[in-house]
Amino acid sequence: MDLPIYMDGHATTRVDPRVVEAMLPFFSDHYGNAASRQHRFGWRARDAVSAARASVAKLIGAAAREVCFTSGATESNNLALKGVAEASRDRGNHIVTVETEHRAVLDPCARLAQQGLRISHLPVRADGLVTPASLEAALGPETVLVSIMLVNNEIGVVQPIRELAGVAHARRVPLHTDAAQAAGFVPVDVAAAGIDLLSLTAHKLYGPKGVGALFVRRGVAVAALMDGGGHEAGLRSGTLNVPAIVGFGRAADICREERAGEAVRLRRLRDRLWEKLHRSLPGVSVNGSMTARAPHNLNVSIAGVNGEQLLAGLSDAAVSSGAACTSSRRESSHVLRALGLDDALALASIRFGLGRFNTEAEVDHVAGAVCALVKQLRAPEPIFEVGDDDLPAAWR
């Protein structure tokens, strides 16, 4: 067992060796520009991109022509939110999203608010889920888009997207979902769920960083954010990153073929980790629903410990906190605050992101390390009566 053990799969995942193998020829042998139509180097790159597009589309139940490649989920979210807002100026100026969204949705919404759009942020229940009734109440005649994350990046809860899409569609409003944390771990079918726009990124499903996609259902109007050649059906101009796109396609194929079995294994590992923590540590609690939850996520708060000390002391495990760090100070997570946690408990949280390469032995090791460290941090510090004569000479 190699140390440290990586359990931060929500931040990124290791690139699967099968994905690397698929990518390598496109750095040195098949290095053409996919937009070069006059020679075989360009044709080979074009065909590889087409095959990858079909693979990504198949992963989410879409048509290949509905998939636009981007640099990642952040760009996809920006294109969906700002592109729909721009294309819908004559119909309305209202977007509905959720308090627990990733910053890649909240920040573009804040930018649109500065430009005069009205943004509504739906609350969540204590389990992290949005209710269809709250969405229904937020919609109005000026609403042009609903954006609700499929799987939350911190607490792993899976929103009832099909029901929420039905509410939005009853008012003739399209629904966008950030599925960056979902596609590699839970079934995604844009047709069955009624999803109109969907954001993906390869590096959350064992593909390379720097490549993602936006699904846009045919008939949904989206204005381009970048101009300069009309690539990707005019939605996203720029030379395509062919090696990364090829890797994305291979990663999508592997996820589609292995996701069901992998989900069973990851859920078993996740439940084993939770059982060991729960059995050994009083005052530990799960954040978010345990039933409507992605199989690879566990987010817990541990009462009575300092979160920074806890993370700093886990030298054998790469995990993250439920709290976000800014340049000047550490703040409690907006997601955990939305669930009703106070700052002390939110700052004492750990997010475990299990993945394809984790083992049962690693889970046992990490659980043991967390339990031992928490007990050490909770232990009262000894108090000694120390006089001057007891101090080393150098300290007097």
Catalytic site positions: 325
Query: CA 201 from chain center: how many Å?
Result: 9
Quickly count helices (H) and strands (E) in the chain: 13, 14
Query: CA 221 from chain center: how many Å?
Result: 25
Cα(21)–Cα(27) distance, integer angstroms = 11
In sequence order, what are the beta bridge partners of 178?
A: 199
Q: CB under 8 Å to 331, separation ≥6 — which residues?
A: 323, 324, 325
Helices (DSSP H) in 115-204: which residue ranges? 132-138, 161-170, 190-193
Does residue 339 contact residue 288 with C-beta atoms inside 8 Å? yes
Could you give phi then psi for residue 339, rounded to 5 degrees? Answer: -80, -10
Does residue 378 contact residue 305 with C-beta atoms inside 8 Å? yes
- Prior bond to 141 cis, omega within 30? no
In sequence order, what are the beta bridge partners of 94?
A: 118, 143
